[in-house]
């Protein structure tokens, strides 16, 4: 059984850049950034074991960014947040969280898992650094995805058009999402 893993990779999180096409060739502008990210990841967890290809994974990613100078007061109160500064979790600026996710998944391909298609559940957030995590970087939490018996029995007995059954850890309830049919 493949075990859970938690790694913090320090440094400003980077989004995946779009590939460039020139003279019939494809250029990956994120290639060096992915190599650097993987290097930092391997420094934090040198004994990593690649998850076998038959293991489904649940990944949680938290991207922490430094606050801009405009969030802080000046003068004798320098270093204190302004009252108008947004909460640490309300980061509505770029980069987009989906591009941050793609970057991490692509960078860890072949190292943490055989292929990123093994990821069956994903949770991600981006926020400013705060007291709980004062350093910019990416927190990666990975565990094998285990289908709980109660969810498994619901999956086996539900009708095909009844929707997707998912479990939420934050409130402990089972949520139903309806699927739209055309």
The pLDDT tens digits for 158-176 are 444 444 444 444 444 444 4
Q: Tell me if 169 sits within 8 A of 182, measured CB to CB.
A: no
Q: What is the pTM of this model?
A: 0.75
CA pair distance 4, 49, nearest whole angstrom: 11
The pLDDT tens digits for 21-31 are 888 888 888 89
Strand 137-144 and strand 25-27: the pairing is unpaired
Q: Tell me if 42 sits within 8 A of 33, measured CB to CB.
A: no
Q: Nearest to residue 4, comparing CAs of 140, 111, 120, 106? A: 140
Q: What domains lie within the chain, and their CATH numbers?
A: 5-146 (3.30.1330.70), 147-182 (no CATH)
């Amino acid at each position: 059984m493949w075990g859970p893993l938690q790694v913090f990779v320090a440094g400003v999180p980077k989004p995946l850049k779009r590939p460039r096409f020139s003279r019939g060739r494809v250029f990956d502008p994120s290639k060096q950034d992915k190599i650097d990210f993987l290097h930092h990841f391997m420094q934090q967890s040198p004994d990593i074991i690649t998850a076998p290809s038959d293991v489904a994974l649940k990944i949680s990613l938290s991207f922490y960014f430094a606050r801009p100078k405009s969030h802080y007061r000046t003068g004798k109160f320098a270093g204190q947040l302004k009252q108008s500064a947004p909460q640490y979790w309300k980061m509505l600026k770029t980069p987009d969280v989906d591009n941050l996710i793609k970057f991490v998944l692509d960078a860890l391909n072949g190292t943490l898992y055989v292929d990123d298609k093994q990821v069956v559940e994903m949770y991600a957030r981006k926020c400013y650094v705060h007291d709980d995590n004062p350093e910019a970087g990416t927190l990666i939490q990975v565990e094998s995805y285990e289908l709980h018996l109660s969810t498994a029995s619901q999956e086996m007995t539900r009708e095909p058009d009844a929707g997707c059954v998912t479990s939420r850890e934050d409130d402990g309830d089972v949520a139903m999402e309806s699927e739209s049919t055309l």
